[in-house]
Amino acid sequence: MFYFVKTPGWLKRIYDSYTWSIPVNDKILYLTFDDGPHPEATPFVLKELKKHNALATFFCIGKNVVTYPDIYKQLINEGHSVGNHTYNHLNGWKTGSDDYLKDIDLASHEIDSDLFRPPYGRITSFQAKNLRSAMKGKEPRVIMWDVLSGDFDNDCTPQQCLSNVILATVPGSIIIFHDSEKAFSNLTYTLPRILNYFSEKGYLFKSL
């Protein structure tokens, strides 16, 4: 499975209307978690974040919010941000635009946010231009990423996942993890070590 751990500059320039990182002057990082809420992974993430007074952003799947409403409410009550990640985790390149936008609209009834992250990072220009109508009239912010941990990759060891993040992260990085079943074994190893490593270096973790 090929993917960029560090998003290359040429890709950011092509899709410059999307947010890939945050300009900062201080040691600030933006942890993001995709595909939850999950009954085991999301509470684990929340527990680890709380140990470091860290805030994060959760890009939630609508159907999972419906299934686990209490966990969804917990992450909001603990001060974290949420974003729309579609209702059924659809790939925009493989889904007709009408169906894709309807799925986002369905998710927007459960997730009140102007933040949107396309699953797999795949969205067409037409879909992106029509997000506002699918998100209850909110001015959408398409949030991509600067660092992809690889926690979802079964061929990526926990140690490699940790190395991916440490080596690619700079101040202002938007980092992707997944609070999902598939990523859980890598996440349980990597997240506590990432929080410890960067906290010891004086970094703060903020939400988008």
203 backbone dihedrals φ, ψ, rounded to 5° = -85, 150
Q: Of residues 34, 103, 146, 179, which has the active-site annotation?
A: 34
Which tokens in the block code for residue 65? 């919010």
Compute CA distances 39 → 54, 61, 135, 189, whole Å: 20, 13, 26, 18
Q: Of residues 38, 80, 85, 178, which has the active-site annotation?
A: 178
- Of 158, 67, 81, nearest to 116 by C-alpha is 81
112 in active site: no
Number of other residues whose CB lies within 10 A of the CB of residue 126: 11
- Of 186, 197, 202, nearest to 44 by C-alpha is 186
178 in active site: yes
CB of 65 closer than 8 Å to CB of 41: no
Catalytically active residues are 34, 178
